[in-house]
């Protein structure tokens, strides 16, 4: 599937969705715009994806506006160019819950998990802001690090906070999730991005209360390809990025066991989240971002239908 | 008694133990650390095996560390310091040099056994701090053992020594002793000279001076003998008749000492078979020549021995020789067409007059050369002949290939201008000296091989010959003037070209231009010229013990009896095996430069290529130097006085050097390092076995991690 997505991204000019390319763009807003525009171009304006919008008003056409948005029937009647403006159907709260624990700093290639998560968060925030959602951001490790309450005006703030987010401390979901649940009282769309290095039961007990409070929850599980494949060869000491603990490892002998445990962990998360109406996606940081965006849009569409 | 170390600095090597430990730790902690987001899943995998392997790894590490420690301690040369030895050897330890005479005169009676006993007694009497060297000598000296404090080694070396065939020379042995004492750090030196003290071994001008304070202890082992009969020489007279060569051996036998006349029998052995015996009656200190019946010489390298019955000195009771059939020198005389009819008469007759058939002479009349003239020819004589350019080119190849040419310049002789380099100069017009009653030879280079035999008084007189005519000759710078007339003009000159040589005689060799051919000296002169031009060396029938033979020198091999092609073959061959008379063999390896064979034993040496057993191998006879048979005695005190310096008072009590040496001596005697090395290697072996076993077990265990 990943290969298929990459092929599709390449074919549609979506090379801008490649995280290694995005890593070269320093301005996060430009990055988000690039991602979203590139992604939408790649969709060919599919009628089945997106949101229905209500007509709001007309305004005169100005150079630079998309000519496809010109109301040609009005032009026929008035012989003037007018642009149709729509009002978003939703005006929901959209909050990204971003894990910035130290384990997110890991990378086996050019893009760390935190960078990938940051691009994803920026793109989704930008996307939602286009949909006229109120956007917010919470970064956390074992406690809340930064909190940007959801607002229509907080787009740039969110991007700024994302831009300076750093993975420095050990992480734990319990305290931040509790705090978030208390602060975000109004229902909204919550996007939780983390690497979930905790027991499945613990994760569920800490994350599902958000769902219980009526939030629509979309979970992105960000993992580096090395965490999935465990491609190491030489016998080495492995050190935990968060705790500093070291253990000696012969990778060749542990690889299969390790993969099996990771797959089981992911499968359990998937099953438990799904059964609780939470959309769950595992994201490989070597894959293009459009996979995540597709997942997000699918979830939004599904949620909108349910709603 | 306490454990101490001779070279404690090596103990720093123990720090090397830390190397594997540090490597072990650093490799774990630094070099091979992988940062990973979380060990959550890795820690879920059980690795009890890892703990067990860690323990085993430490065991291997301990073995390696212990082996390293043992190695370091071994190199530090540990020993137990025994204070009881401190005071031994008052006056300081001695550097003792035992000089043992092994010349063949030491075989008389029980001299050798006594000499060995005396040498052994010296080693038995060594103090714990003394060191001894063993030097055996005859005409040369050989250090068998250098500065050892181990009496067992000294006795072992002594057991390998036997009497040789050399002659006594004290000089080289004492110089070796001088060197050993000068290089020694021990406070005093002592030279023990065990010999029969023959006068011939010491001339007094050897220039030996032992270090100050050194002591020379002469040990005289000498048995008196009644008489000694020796074969002093063997003359081999060759005669050729009917194409066969016959040799008549004549032995010279001498009797030293003895009383009244005694009958002495001599036996002639050929190739190990006794073929003739003769008897001669000799008085006290008498000598006689004994001629044996001639024998036919048909095969090369025939071994011969003339032997008298064994007496007290066996080495001079036999005289060995090797003879090979001689090859006549082929001489071609090209007689000029315009020369006098009998211009070559005297020359041809002189060369044909030889009992041994040394020269095979062919004569052809005519100018110019033909290829047949040079075929199987050793010497070419151009007697008043005209030489054209083509002939000169033929001649050039002949000379450069090793041939010899004598150009006799008569009235008709001419030489092409294109080949002047073949002559030692330029031929000029005829110079007539009849008005002044002829000239004489005014200068002769007696150092030249042609005239060498005429050097002595009554050995040949050239002054009687008168020369009335000769061709003028302008000698080149590269020419050697061998003889001049009394007016300074050139009589004989030589030039070398390639491997050959060209002689020019500026007058004739007949009775027209001079009367040299009528002089008695003419015949040996003609023989010497032909011998010299043929390039053949004088063959020696035997060598003397102590000489060396250079296998890379074809000339030396020809002198030893080899024909030219064979000598060239051996000189250029890659490798040779030399079989000594005692049965031992030595391989003379292929290499650039000289390849010497030391002829130290009397008897017959055989030289052949490795892996080949020819029917008649190249053989060399070696006889002893008869001067060793002389029983004239040297006063040992005379020798001692000449080689020792005045005594210098030594400092009282053991010096610093003595203490250092005592420690070295103790360490050497105990040799604890050997045991430590064995222990270290045993540990390393155990470690290897153990690590292999661990490795095999580890491979079969899944899910294990290393420490």
Confidence class of residue B87 from pLDDT cuts 50, 70 and 90?
A: very low
pLDDT at B603: 94
pLDDT tens-digit series, residues A149-174: 988 888 889 989 998 899 989 999 98
Q: Is the pLDDT of residue A23 over 80?
A: no
> Measured between CB atoms, does A246 come within 8 Å of chain B?
yes
pLDDT at B353: 85
Looking at every residue in chain A, the average pLDDT score rounds to: 80
Q: Which residues of B touch A203 (CB under 8 A)?
A: none
**A223: closest chain B residue by CA:** B37
pLDDT at B91: 55
pLDDT tens-digit series, residues B526-571: 999 998 998 877 778 899 998 888 888 877 887 787 776 677 777 7
Which B-chain residues 307-346 have CB contacts (< 8 A) with chain A? none
**A249: closest chain B residue by CA:** B705
CA neighbor of B196 nearest in space, from B631, B640, B627, B626? B631
Mean pLDDT of the region B259-286:
90
One-letter-per-residue 3-state SS of B521-542 = CHHHHHHHHHHHHHCCCCCCCC
pLDDT at B698: 55
Q: Is the pLDDT of residue A264 over 90?
A: yes
Task: List the single residue in A238, A253, A257 with the smallest CB-CB distance to B36.
Answer: A238
How is residue A15 annotated by DSSP?
G
Burial (0-12, 13-18, 19+ Cβ within 10 Å), B152:
exposed
Confidence class of residue A37 from pLDDT cuts 50, 70 and 90?
A: low
pLDDT at B653: 45
pLDDT at B185: 80
Beta bridge partners of A238: A247, B34
Task: List the single residue in A241, A250, A262 with the smallest CB-CB distance to B36.
Answer: A241
Of all residues in chain A, the percent with pLDDT exceeding 70 is 77
> Measured between CB atoms, does A242 come within 8 Å of chain B?
yes
Task: List the single residue in A227, A240, A253 with the smallest CB-CB distance to B704.
Answer: A253
Confidence class of residue B112 from pLDDT cuts 50, 70 and 90?
A: very high
Confidence class of residue A19 from pLDDT cuts 50, 70 and 90?
A: low
Beta bridge partners of B563: none
**How many whole angstroms separate alpha carbon B141 and alpha carbon B171?**
9
Task: Answer for the pair B194, B159: CB distance below 8 angstroms, yes or no.
Answer: no
pLDDT at B445: 92
Q: Which residues of A touch B42 (CB under 8 A)?
A: 238, 247, 249, 254, 258
Does ipTM surpass 0.85 in this model?
Answer: no
Mean pLDDT of the region A169-184:
89
Of all residues in chain B, the percent with pLDDT exceeding 70 is 89
Confidence class of residue B511 from pLDDT cuts 50, 70 and 90?
A: confident
> Measured between CB atoms, does B35 come within 8 Å of chain A?
yes
Cβ distance of A237 and B32 shorter than 8 Å: yes
Report residue B454 CA to chain centroid gap: 32
Q: What is the β-pairing status of strands B295-297 and B244-257?
A: antiparallel
Confidence class of residue B48 from pLDDT cuts 50, 70 and 90?
A: very low
pLDDT tens-digit series, residues B458-488: 888 898 899 999 999 999 988 999 999 998 9
User: Distance, in angstroms, between A184 CA and closest chain B CA?
Assistant: 29
Cβ distance of B32 and A235 shorter than 8 Å: yes
CA neighbor of A159 nearest in space, from A50, A25, A17? A25
Confidence class of residue A92 from pLDDT cuts 50, 70 and 90?
A: confident
Q: Which residues of B touch A243 (CB under 8 A)?
A: 39
**B706: closest chain A residue by CA:** A248
> Measured between CB atoms, does A257 come within 8 Å of chain B?
yes
Q: What would the two tokens of residue B489 be?
A: 């003009």
Beta bridge partners of A54: A87
Mutate to test the interface with B, among A170, A221, A247, A264 (most CBs of B within 10 A): A247
CA neighbor of B552 nearest in space, from B597, B584, B600, B585? B597
Mutate to test the interface with A, among B36, B42, B706 (most CBs of A within 10 A): B36
Q: What would the two tokens of residue B405 be?
A: 């040419």
> Measured between CB atoms, does B642 come within 8 Å of chain A?
no
Q: What would the two tokens of residue B132 be?
A: 């001894």
Cβ distance of B50 and A262 shorter than 8 Å: no
Confidence class of residue B1 from pLDDT cuts 50, 70 and 90?
A: low
Grouping H, G, I as helix, E, B as strand and the rest as coil, residue B389 is helix
Question: Rg of the Cα trace of chain A?
Answer: 21
Which A-chain residues 62-91 have CB contacts (< 8 A) with chain B? none
pLDDT at A233: 81
Confidence class of residue A52 from pLDDT cuts 50, 70 and 90?
A: very low
> Measured between CB atoms, does A244 come within 8 Å of chain B?
no
Cβ distance of B42 and A236 shorter than 8 Å: no
Q: Which residue's entry shows tokens 């930008």?
A: A126
Confidence class of residue A27 from pLDDT cuts 50, 70 and 90?
A: low
Confidence class of residue B116 from pLDDT cuts 50, 70 and 90?
A: very high
Q: What is the β-pairing status of strands B379-383 and B329-335?
A: parallel
Task: List the single residue in B39, B40, B706 with the smallest CB-CB distance to A250.
Answer: B706
One-letter-per-residue 3-state SS of B669-705 = HHCHHHHHHHHHHHHHHHHHHHHHHHHHHHHCCCCCC
**B35: closest chain A residue by CA:** A239
pLDDT tens-digit series, residues B635-681: 988 888 888 866 555 444 444 444 455 677 677 777 888 889 999 99
Q: Is the pLDDT of residue A88 over 50?
A: no
Task: Answer for the pair B601, B580: CB distance below 8 angstroms, yes or no.
Answer: yes
Mutate to test the interface with A, among B698, B701, B704, B705 (most CBs of A within 10 A): B705
**How many whole angstroms separate alpha carbon A10 and alpha carbon A8?**
5
Q: What would the two tokens of residue A263 be?
A: 């797959």
More confident residue, A292 or B26: A292
First to last CA, chain A: 29
pLDDT tens-digit series, residues B137-158: 998 899 998 888 888 888 889 9
Buried b (16+ CB within 10 A) or exposed e, B396-421: bebbeeebbbbbbbbbbbebeeebee
Buried b (16+ CB within 10 A) or exposed e, B192-212: bbbbbbbebbbeeebebebbe
Confidence class of residue B172 from pLDDT cuts 50, 70 and 90?
A: very high
Q: Which residues of B touch A246 (CB under 8 A)?
A: 29, 33
Mutate to test the interface with A, among B38, B58, B703 (most CBs of A within 10 A): B38
> Measured between CB atoms, does B705 come within 8 Å of chain A?
yes
Q: Is the pLDDT of residue A57 over 60?
A: yes
CA neighbor of A120 nearest in space, from A220, A253, A1, A12? A220
Q: Is the pLDDT of residue B50 over 50?
A: no
Q: Is the pLDDT of residue B175 over 80?
A: yes
**Dihedral sign, CA of B578, B584, B590, B592?**
negative
User: Distance, in angstroms, between B183 CA and closest chain A CA?
Assistant: 60
Cβ distance of A261 and B704 shorter than 8 Å: no
Residues 6+ apart with CB under 8 A from B335: B343, B344, B363, B364, B365, B366, B383, B384, B385
More confident residue, A282 or B126: A282
**A265: closest chain B residue by CA:** B41
Cβ distance of A261 and B706 shorter than 8 Å: no
> Measured between CB atoms, does A197 come within 8 Å of chain B?
yes
pLDDT at B573: 67
Of all residues in chain B, the percent with pLDDT exceeding 90 is 35
Mean pLDDT of the region B377-402:
90
User: Distance, in angstroms, between B686 CA and closest chain A CA?
Assistant: 26
> Measured between CB atoms, does A239 come within 8 Å of chain B?
yes
Q: Which residues of A touch B706 (CB under 8 A)?
A: 235, 248, 250
Q: Write out the H or E segment, with its range, that includes residue B238.
A: strand B227-241
In order of B5, B59, B707, the CA distances from B68 in angstroms are 17, 14, 22
pLDDT at B644: 83
Q: What would the two tokens of residue B363 be?
A: 């004569």
In order of A45, A47, A59, A67, the CA distances from A83 in angstroms are 18, 20, 5, 8
DSSP code string of A232-274: --S-EEEEETTT--EEEE-HHHHHHHHHHHHHHHHHHHHHHHH
Q: What are phi and psi of B428, to 5 degrees?
A: -110, -170
Task: Answer for the pair B486, B436: CB distance below 8 angstroms, yes or no.
Answer: no
């Amino acid at each position: 599937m990943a290969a298929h997505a990459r092929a599709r991204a390449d074919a549609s000019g979506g090379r801008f969705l490649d995280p290694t390319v995005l890593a070269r763009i320093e301005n996060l807003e430009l990055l988000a715009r690039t991602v979203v525009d590139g992604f939408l171009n790649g969709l060919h304006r599919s009628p089945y994806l997106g949101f229905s919008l209500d007509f709001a008003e007309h305004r005169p056409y100005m150079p630079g506006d998309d000519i496809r948005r010109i109301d040609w029937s009005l032009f026929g009647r008035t012989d003037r160019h007018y642009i149709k403006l729509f009002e978003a159907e939703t005006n929901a709260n959209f909050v990204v819950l971003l894990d910035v624990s130290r384990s997110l700093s890991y990378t086996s290639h050019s893009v760390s998990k935190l960078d990938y998560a940051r691009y994803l968060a920026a793109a989704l925030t930008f996307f939602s802001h286009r949909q006229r959602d109120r956007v917010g951001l919470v970064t956390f490790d074992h406690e809340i690090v930064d909190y940007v309450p959801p607002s229509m005006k907080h787009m740039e703030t969110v991007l700024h906070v994302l831009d300076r987010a750093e993975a420095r401390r050990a992480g734990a979901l319990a305290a931040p999730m509790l705090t978030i649940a208390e602060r975000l009282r109004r229902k909204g769309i919550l996007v939780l991005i983390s690497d979930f290095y905790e027991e499945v039961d613990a994760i569920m007990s800490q994350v599902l209360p958000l769902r219980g409070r009526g939030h629509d929850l979309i979970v992105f599980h960000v993992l580096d390809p090395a965490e999935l494949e465990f491609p190491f060869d030489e016998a080495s000491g492995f050190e935990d990025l968060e705790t500093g603990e070291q253990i000696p490892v012969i990778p060749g002998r542990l690889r299969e066991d390790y993969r099996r445990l990771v797959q089981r962990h992911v499968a359990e998360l998937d099953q438990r989240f799904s059964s609780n109406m939470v959309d769950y996606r595992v994201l490989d940081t070597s894959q293009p971002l459009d996979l995540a965006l597709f997942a997000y849009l699918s979830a939004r569409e599904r949620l909108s239908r349910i709603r | 008694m306490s454990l101490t170390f001779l070279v404690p600095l090596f103990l720093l090597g123990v720090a090397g133990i830390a190397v594997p430990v540090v490597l072990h730790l650093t490799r774990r902690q630094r070099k091979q650390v992988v940062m990973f987001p979380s060990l959550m899943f890795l820690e879920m995998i059980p690795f009890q095996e890892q703990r067990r392997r860690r323990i085993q790894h430490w065991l291997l590490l301990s073995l390696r560390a212990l082996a390293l420690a043992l190695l370091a301690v071994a190199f530090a040369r540990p020993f137990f310091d025994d204070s009881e030895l401190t005071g031994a050897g008052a006056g300081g330890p001695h550097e003792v040099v035992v000089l043992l005479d092994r010349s063949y005169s030491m075989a008389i009676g029980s001299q050798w056994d006594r000499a060995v006993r005396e040498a052994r007694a010296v080693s038995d009497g060594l103090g714990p701090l003394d060191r001894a060297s063993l030097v055996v000598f005859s005409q040369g000296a050989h250090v068998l053992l250098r500065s050892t404090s181990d009496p067992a080694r000294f006795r072992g070396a002594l057991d390998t020594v036997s009497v040789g065939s050399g002659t006594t020379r004290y000089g080289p042995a004492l110089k070796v002793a001088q060197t050993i004492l000068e290089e020694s750090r021990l406070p005093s030196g002592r030279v023990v000279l065990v010999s029969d003290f023959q006068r011939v071994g010491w001339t007094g001008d050897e220039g030996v001076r032992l270090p100050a304070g050194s002591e020379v202890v002469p040990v005289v082992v000498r048995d008196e003998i009644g008489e000694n009969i020796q074969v002093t020489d063997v003359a081999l007279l060759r005669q050729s008749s009917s194409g066969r060569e016959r040799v008549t051996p004549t032995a010279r036998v001498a009797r030293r000492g003895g009383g009244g006349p005694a009958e002495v029998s001599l036996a002639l052995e050929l190739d190990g078979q006794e073929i003739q015996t003769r008897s001669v009656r000799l008085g006290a200190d008498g000598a006689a020549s004994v001629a044996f019946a001639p024998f036919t010489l048909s095969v090369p390298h025939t071994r011969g021995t003339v032997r008298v019955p064994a007496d007290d000195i066996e080495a001079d009771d036999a005289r060995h020789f090797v003879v090979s059939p001689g090859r006549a020198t082929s001489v071609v005389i090209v007689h000029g067409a315009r020369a006098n009819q009998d211009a070559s008469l005297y020359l041809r007759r002189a060369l044909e007059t030889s009992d041994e058939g040394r020269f095979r002479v062919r004569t052809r009349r005519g100018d110019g050369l033909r290829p047949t003239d040079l075929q199987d020819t050793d010497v070419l004589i151009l007697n008043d002949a005209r030489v054209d350019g083509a002939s000169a080119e033929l001649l050039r190849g002949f000379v450069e290939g090793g041939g010899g040419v004598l150009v006799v310049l008569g009235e008709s002789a001419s030489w092409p201008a294109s080949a002047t380099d073949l002559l030692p100069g330029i031929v000029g017009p005829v110079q007539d000296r009849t008005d002044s009653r002829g000239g004489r030879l005014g200068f002769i280079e007696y150092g030249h091989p042609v005239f060498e035999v005429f050097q002595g008084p009554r050995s040949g007189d050239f002054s009687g010959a008168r020369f009335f005519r000769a061709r003028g000759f302008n000698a080149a710078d590269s020419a050697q003037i061998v003889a001049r007339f009394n007016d300074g003009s050139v009589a004989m000159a030589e030039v070398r070209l390639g491997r050959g040589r060209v002689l020019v005689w500026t007058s004739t060799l007949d009775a027209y231009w001079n009367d040299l051919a009528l002089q008695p000296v003419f015949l040996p002169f003609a023989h010497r010229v032909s011998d010299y031009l043929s390039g053949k060396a004088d063959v020696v029938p035997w060598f003397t013990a102590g000489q060396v033979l250079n296998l890379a020198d074809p000339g030396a091999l020809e002198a030893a009896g080899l024909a030219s092609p064979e000598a060239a073959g051996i000189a250029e061959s890659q490798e040779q095996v030399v079989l000594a008379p005692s049965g031992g063999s030595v391989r003379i390896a292929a290499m650039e430069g000289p390849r010497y064979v030391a002829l130290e034993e009397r008897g017959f040496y055989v030289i052949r290529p490795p892996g080949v057993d020819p029917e008649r191998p190249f053989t060399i006879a070696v006889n002893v130097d008869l001067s060793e048979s002389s029983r004239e005695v040297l006063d040992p005190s005379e020798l001692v006085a000449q080689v020792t310096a005045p005594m210098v008072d030594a400092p009282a009590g053991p010096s610093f050097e003595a203490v250092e040496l005592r420690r070295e001596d103790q360490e050497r005697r105990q040799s604890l390092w050997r045991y430590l090395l064995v222990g270290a290697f045993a540990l390393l072996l155990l470690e290897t076995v153990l690590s292999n076993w661990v490795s095999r077990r580890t491979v079969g265990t899944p899910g294990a991690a290393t420490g």
